[in-house]
Structure 1
């Protein structure tokens, strides 16, 4: 059962009624594969991440979320971009409709072991050549494309 539905550039999307700061990380292995999780709530492959808790920085949030969702400990090494497109809203089963607000960092593994959490059905490193064959939301594909471009400045949008 889907507990969330992403709408992107959808004229029939519900209007946002909240905005919550969140972050994610692109973490690669030594073969250039990207750490991704298959979300239990949507079935899409996504970057690990989540929303901030009171009392933490966004970087601390991303480090915590990556550990919770993948079992891996990371450190933040760079900023990929800020993603706040109001044409991307996420509708939750409880009636919340959240406008996207995501800061995506680049991270490096410093410990841990890959593990699946209750938020995902699978966690693994995915070869970029396989992205086109997986269900990945367009806004995550944008971040993956920005990473592949090896941008020298963060995306601000």
Structure 2
């Protein structure tokens, strides 16, 4: 996303300005990338310091797969050619108040991204670090959704069907 001005001009920024104290729905796309060793790419978020998958809000005029690809590119410098849905989470238990005091119920789709090109170059306004991690070597502090999405990925790979909850 980049600057504060970019966020303020985004769909969610405009909605938040209009409804400053409301719990808003945040529709988001998350990108899951794996390297040759099966490790996943995580970023250390600039806003809260948690390690997480690249994720962000969908904009008017784009699809959720496009959102996951765009957000991953913006946050990491890596561009995917293909996005396959592995998980959709929608419940009220995914309501979260961010570091700015804004409350959102997250509706997020996670996509396994493939055909990746580019160089890993995190945008410092989005991510202070990025790295590849195996399930037995996850960094801390870890976003609470990372283990859930890894479980969903394992289920998807066994069944060929996305997990919806």
Q: Taking structure 1 as reference, are residues 134 and 151 closer, same or farther at Cα in structure 2, changes over 3 Å only?
A: farther
Structure 2 runs not aligned, ≥5 long: 1-20
Structure 2 contact 48–99 (Cα < 8 Å) conserved = no
Q: Which has the higher strand share?
A: 1
- Correspondent of 1:54 among 45, 50, 60: 60
Counterpart mapping for 1:36-75 below 5 A: 36-75=42-81
Cα distance in structure 2, aligned partners of 1:42 and 1:34: 20
> What's 1:22 paired with?
28
Structure 1 segments (4+ residues) deviating >6 Å: none
Counterpart mapping for 1:76-115 below 5 A: 76-115=82-121
> What's 1:129 paired with?
136
Q: CA deviation at 1:82?
A: 0.4
- Correspondent of 1:156 among 135, 139, 164: 164
Structure 2 contact 82–115 (Cα < 8 Å) conserved = no
Cα distance in structure 2, aligned partners of 1:151 and 1:98: 32
In the superposition, the TM-score normalised over structure 1's length comes to 0.82
Q: CA deviation at 1:32?
A: 0.4
Q: CA deviation at 1:147?
A: 1.6
Secondary structure of the equivalent of 1:63?
helix
Structure 1 runs not aligned, ≥5 long: 1-14
Question: How many residues get paired?
Answer: 142
Cα distance in structure 2, aligned partners of 1:94 and 1:43: 14
Secondary structure of the equivalent of 2:136?
helix
Structure 2 contact 65–83 (Cα < 8 Å) conserved = no
Q: CA deviation at 1:85?
A: 2.2
Q: Taking structure 1 as reference, are residues 122 and 96 closer, same or farther at Cα in structure 2, changes over 3 Å only?
A: same
* Greater RCO structure (CA 8 Å; 6+ sep): 1
> What's 1:5 paired with?
none
Cα distance in structure 2, aligned partners of 1:151 and 1:142: 16
Q: CA deviation at 1:129?
A: 1.4
